[in-house]
Structure 1
Amino acid sequence: MQFEKYKISLLEANQSESFFNLIANNRARLEDFFAGTVSKTKTLEATIDYCKEIAQKIEDRSYFPYMITNLETNEIIGLIDVKNIDWNVPKAELGAFIDKAHESKGVITKASALVVDHLIETYHFKKLLCRANARNLGSIGVILKNGFELEGTIRNDYRTTKGEIVDLNYYGRVF
């Protein structure tokens, strides 16, 4: 998938260093809501191992990490991951973030729209959902612009890296 100067594709083994750099440059702001990814990418070596785990999950169809790559610099600038996949429905959860230098430019909104279309056409998901903390207005904006609707707030639903238990808004889109 491509738009403007960006390519969206599944994480590849040779992208470990670029993936590590993306996380390292955004670690402080990601650690609360991408706790698993942040904890498994503390060093380049750990990131290489994590990317091997991810390759197996892609093969097993249990996790799909779509990288947003700037074609001019060949750097990964964002991630849209498809997780908590339930093939019985089928449904999945989407999570996303973009490098702080690329925020508020519409990149993650456009990339998310392309990934959603791809997921529906390729995997025939009947439902996609997103979770976001009510304070995360940027993510909520992306979610709403992509046609998701607030389904409710789940109280005490997530423990941040700092140990705080927070409420999460659930947004769904049915196809």
Structure 2
Amino acid sequence: MHARLFDIDTALVAPHTVVRRFRENEGEALYNLIQDNRSQLEDHFPKTMEEVRDKESAEFFVRKMLAGWLLQKEFAFGVWENKSAGLIGMIRIFRIDWRVPKAELNYFIDKGHAGKGLMSESVKVVLRFAFHQLQIEKIAIRTAMDNNPSQRLARKMGFRREGDLRADFKKPSGEVIDIMLFGLTRGEFLGI
């Protein structure tokens, strides 16, 4: 790992959301969000679903994400709606390879808040954070072939489809599926 001390923000402000690092004692809010969206998350976030089984395991998961942030292994953000101050989603920068540097991005939003542009504005501020503050050169998004909302968001943010990864992801049902790979470089994001 490339040891580097960053002077980085832990809260990012978008027009209708605050995207910030999780804090201790927010496991219950994450647990409730995941429970409310279990049916849409099961196939796309099986490891998260496996780790967040109850309120206690959710708190442990939050603290693990905090440790990952401090160790610069991942940067996990909760997406908090300005109007209600409630947790409505999560965005993670993970699988960071500091040698390039490059990373992957994943995200989900509460089904009641989907389609309103909230995740788009939140992902945009996280991309700005990744490219400006972390100096990441490239961000990748892996998404299932049938996850049209994620594909639309990736394209809206300027990501290009780089190819398909055949038989790359196993659903909890045991089905092995193909994945679409999208990529965005720092130069593309900054308009260079």
Question: Where on the TM-score scale, by shorter chain, does this alignment land: which range?
Answer: over 0.9
Q: Please, which of 98, 103, 108 is the counterpart of residue 114 of structure 2?
A: 103
SS in 1 for 2:37: helix
Is the CA contact (8 Å cut-off) linking 2:17 and 2:80 kept in structure 1? Answer: yes
| Percent identity between the two aligned chains | 28
> Where does the alignment leave 5 or more consecutive residues of structure 1 unmatched?
none
Indicate whether 1:15 and 2:26 are aligned: yes
1:56 deviates by: 1.2
Q: Equivalents in 2 of 1:94, 1:22: separation in Å?
A: 19
Q: Equivalents in 2 of 1:57, 1:122: separation in Å?
A: 17
> Where does the alignment leave 5 or more consecutive residues of structure 2 unmatched?
1-11, 187-192
- Could you state the TM-score of these two structures normalised by the residue count of structure 2? 0.88
Indicate whether 1:76 and 2:87 are aligned: yes
Q: Equivalents in 2 of 1:127, 1:106: separation in Å?
A: 23
Q: Which amino acid aligns with 2:73?
A: S
Q: Mean alpha-carbon deviation: is it higher for 24-33 or for 147-156? A: 24-33
SS in 2 for 1:140: helix
Indicate whether 1:57 and 2:68 are aligned: yes
> Could you give the per-residue CA deviations for residues 72-101 of structure 1, whole angstroms, max 9, x where no partner exists?
322110111111110010000000110000
Q: Equivalents in 2 of 1:56, 1:83: separation in Å?
A: 13
Q: Mean alpha-carbon deviation: is it higher for 143-152 or for 74-83? A: 74-83
Q: What's the RMSD between the two structures over aligned residues? A: 1.0
**Hey, what does 2:149 align to over in structure 1?**
138
Q: Which amino acid aligns with 2:13?
A: Q
Runs of 4+ aligned structure 1 residues displaced above 3 Å come to: none
Indicate whether 1:40 and 2:51 are aligned: yes
Q: Equivalents in 1 of 2:104, 2:138: separation in Å?
A: 9
1:2 deviates by: 1.5
Q: Equivalents in 2 of 1:124, 1:152: separation in Å?
A: 25
SS in 2 for 1:104: coil
**Hey, what does 1:169 align to over in structure 2?**
180
**Hey, what does 2:162 align to over in structure 1?**
151
1:12 deviates by: 1.1
Q: How many residues align?
A: 175
